[in-house]
Amino acid sequence: MEQKTDKQLYQEFLKGNNSSFEELVIRHKDKLIYFITTYVKNIDIAEDIAQDVFVYILIHKKNYNFQYSLKTYLYMIAKSKALNFLKHEKKISYTDDIEGLDNLHKSYEKQLNSLEDIIFQKEKARQLHNSINKLKGDYKQAIYLADIEEMKYQEIR
């Protein structure tokens, strides 16, 4: 059986199928949290903001324009909420804070098969984070969305 697309799941959600919405949350929440962490530098805050994104979708379900990918829509809302948080907290800074990423990687460690895989993945993620973190904010976001999330350039804008 083929996996349903995000748009198909969203259409089912609009018709009242809450399990379709739950599948969308499961499908996107971890990467969305990682994306938000690049802004707020705190995994707990990123999780709260990601939850706010999905609550926003629940409340404003008719706002989604099917012309664009759902992933683009989610990330636009997430970016807006993260920037609003930073503006409110007056914490706009891009430091090399790895602690939030380490916490995120701990949740994925259970899925890795061996200690060598864990070490390799952590080092690779740390090097990638350090390299991306040296870039300006807009460049960081563009690289993350294009290369890690595999979004099309037209979707990123």
CATH classification at residue 13 = 1.10.1740.10
The verdict on residue 144 lying in a domain is yes
Instruction: Determine contact, residues 50/33, Cβ cutoff 8 Å.
Output: yes
Our count of domains for the chain comes to 1
Better pLDDT: 35 or 117: 35
Judge whether 92 lies within some domain: yes
Residue 1, in any domain of the structure = no
Q: Is residue 105 part of a domain?
A: yes
Does pLDDT of 109 surpass 80?
Answer: no
Average pLDDT in the chain: 78
Long-range contacts of 126-131 (CB under 8 A, 24+ apart): 126/98, 126/101, 129/98, 129/101, 130/96
The verdict on residue 49 lying in a domain is yes
Residue span of the structural domain in which 11 resides? 6-156
pLDDT value for 102: 52
Maximum distance among all alpha carbons in the chain?
Answer: 48
Stretch 57-69: mean pLDDT, rounded? 87
Residue 27 domain flag = yes
The pLDDT of residue 108: 42
Measure the CA–CA gap between 51 and 108, rounded to whole angstroms: 19
Let me know if residue 58 belongs to a domain: yes
**How far is it, in rounded angstroms, from Cα 61 to Cα 90?**
30
Sequence-separated (6 or more) residues with CB below 8 Å from residue 89 = none
Residue 120's pLDDT is 58
Residue 63: pLDDT band by 50, 70, 90 thresholds? confident
The whole-model pTM stands at 0.59
pLDDT confidence bin for 9, thresholds 50/70/90: very high
